[in-house]
Amino acid sequence: MRNATSGGPGRLAGNGAVAARAPAKVNVHLGVGRLRPDGYHELQTVYLAVSLFDTVTVRRAEGLSLTVRGEGSGDGRGPSGVPVDRRNLVWQAAELLARHAGISADADLEIDKTIPAAAGLAGGSADAAAALVALDALWGTRATRGDLATLAAELGSDVPFSLLGGVALGTHRGERLSPVLARRRWDWVLGIAGDGLSTPVVYAELDELRAAGTLPDGAELASTEPVITALRSGPAPALAAALSNDLQAPALRLRPELRRALRATTDAGARAALVSGSGPTVAGLADDEDTAVRLAAELAGAGVFRTVRAVHGPVHGARLVG
């Protein structure tokens, strides 16, 4: 079966470009198990795709080239800058899809970023997922959705969910997904506090805290059922009570000022607030869209975040646009 999102060869805009976009994610539940022999932690996480998107535009070219515009673009070399070479998951996605299809990796790649880098929102994973969808259409590889999901898992733990979107339970490294039917809309305010946090550094801090006996050792992971049940039907207080993130404690240890950011979010009227993924984004649950917009305006003036966004979810995963 052909990939339903690709459109096959020849689906090009008037300027010969193909664009796809993919969403940010919030981990409404993130349980982290013990460190495994392969260097990864066993995860049980519930992903929610939210309405903050990056767009990847691809064009035919000789060889690969990459440019980045928007949030975190910088010069591609700074700590918050997005790399513009083989270190970028978009570049890796292009090479991987080309090898899978048995063709040359020839494309000009452009990322238009809205999702902040190193913010615990899977912005790099979203870019990779969007690149797979756009390049499949540009090159006419006729990859199935299953093919793309397999390639996504090779690129990173969060990339398969960026491809899928919606709500899903993630296990193993987070790449093994079970979609969750959750039709109701959830509104959030996202506050990005300061510079990015390195995911490997946050995981290493978690391991240190566990080795010191400061945190449980991760042998038993909390059930995901409360948060899944709440996501399906609500009400908001039930979801607020079910939110959890095992990476929040190490993120707070590395970035103590996040405590103030969490407190400011709930003081402003969020039902609950938690660090998203490895941080430093704080996700505040709002009762509705109007409340989320009001919270975003108030928090933007509070001086605790460098960027604030009102978003909602669930939304679709990576797909063609334009």
Catalytic machinery residues: 25, 158
- The amino acid present at 169, given as its one-letter code, is L
Q: Choose among 171, 104, 88, 175: nearest CA to 139.
A: 104
Q: Rg for the chain (alpha carbons), in Å?
A: 19
Find the DSSP H helices in the chain: 89-101, 123-139, 145-155, 159-164, 199-211, 225-233, 236-242, 248-254, 258-267, 289-300
DSSP result, 270-288: -SEEEE-TTSSEEEEEESS
Contact 292, 311 (CB under 8 A): yes
Contacts of 257-260 with C-beta under 8 Å, sequence gap 24+, read: 257/193, 257/194, 257/304, 258/193, 258/282, 260/304
Upstream peptide bond of 256 is cis (omega within 30 degrees of 0): no
Contact 218, 32 (CB under 8 A): yes
Return all residues near 205 (Cβ < 8 A) that are at least 6 apart: 250, 251, 253, 254
Ramachandran angles phi, psi of 262, nearest 5°: -65, -45
- The amino acid present at 266, given as its one-letter code, is T
* Token pair recorded at residue 268: 């402003």
Helix (H, G, I), strand (E, B) or coil at 39: coil
